Amino acid sequence: MLWNEPNNLSHWDFEIDPEWKLFAGLVKSASAAVAAERPRLSRVMGGLSPIDPCFVRTLQAHGALDAVDVLALHGFPLDWNHWQIHEWPDKLEEIRAVTNLPLWVSEVGVSTFGAEEVQAFGLRRTAELLRGQVDRVHWYSLYDLPRAWPATTRHREAEGSAYYRHFYMGLLREDGSPKLAAEQFHEFTPDLGICQWFHFEDPRLGEAVRWLERLGVRYLRTGLSWADSIRPGAQDWFDRQMRALEPFEVTLTFCFTPEGEGIRPNHTSPPRNAQAFADFCAAQIRRYA
């Protein structure tokens, strides 16, 4: 998967790239590099959030969708989106009206910010609406985000409750204890996969694998951060992570710009040289695919 939520303003610096031309170039160069390494490997456009047919048309106009095999979508109607969970079929049709690419829902989830029962309802209703309607569904996420780790958003605490919902998206609490929805999740596997991001040298990795196996998960989405790749010992950590995840069918997301590579020194910036991102993708595909 090439990038994550490019139309989410917390994940791509639109002030530098207001028409997403630089992003389209990034996708095309990275896709070509991946195809050169493993021609039969599916290349997925990073999940769109919000679900926006106008943005799909923008990507088409720049030729970015010609470079991928799948278009991914993200939806969180019970927490952040301005539509109801029952509208999922309509949202899929809005995108199918503007592209013939196969669709994945690579992040969908419900927080326990208000009550665990809300998440349990959301899990069951999401499965009813999406199973069999798209080729892949990844529930977000396995673990709550630890409160000591900041969520990746543009305005953080200024977003009010929207910010704090980031910390309650897991089937498991921060301490690893299961919530109500975790006790039901096995009913929906292997049709539903999991999206779980692992931080650099994440201490939860081993226990996460045990939980994924216990829940019957087959499909896992995670990421390797280009920004992390410049840390000392980064490739050793990537090796440990990918070795631990070998039992699963992994969708591997490449995203986030190292400070020294960006037009601006932050992880959402377009890189000064798109080929540097492509080279990172190719190196990891060569190593793990």
Instruction: For the chain, give every domain's residue range.
Output: 21-288
- Asked if the model's pLDDT at residue 51 lies above 90, the reply is yes
Three-state secondary-structure class, residue 111? coil
Mean predicted lDDT score pLDDT of the chain: 95
Q: What is the pTM of this model?
A: 0.95
Phi/psi of residue 182, nearest 5 degrees: -60, -35
Q: What is the DSSP letter of 170?
A: -
Three-state secondary-structure class, residue 130? helix
Tokens of 210: 């045990």
Q: For position 156, what pLDDT does the model report?
A: 59
Residue 4 gets the label, from left (phi > 0), alpha (psi -120 to 50) or beta, of beta
Q: For position 192, what pLDDT does the model report?
A: 98
Which CATH code for domain 21-288?
3.20.20
- Other C-beta atoms within 10 Å of 15: how many? 10
Q: Which tens digits make up the pLDDT trace of 165-195?
A: 888 999 999 999 999 999 999 999 999 999 9
User: Which positions ≥6 away from 127 have C-beta within 8 Å?
Assistant: 137, 187, 188, 191, 192
- Asked if the model's pLDDT at residue 103 lies above 90, the reply is yes
**Residue matched to tokens 């590579």:** 261
Q: What is the DSSP letter of 218?
A: -
Tokens of 102: 């196969």
Three-state secondary-structure class, residue 84? coil
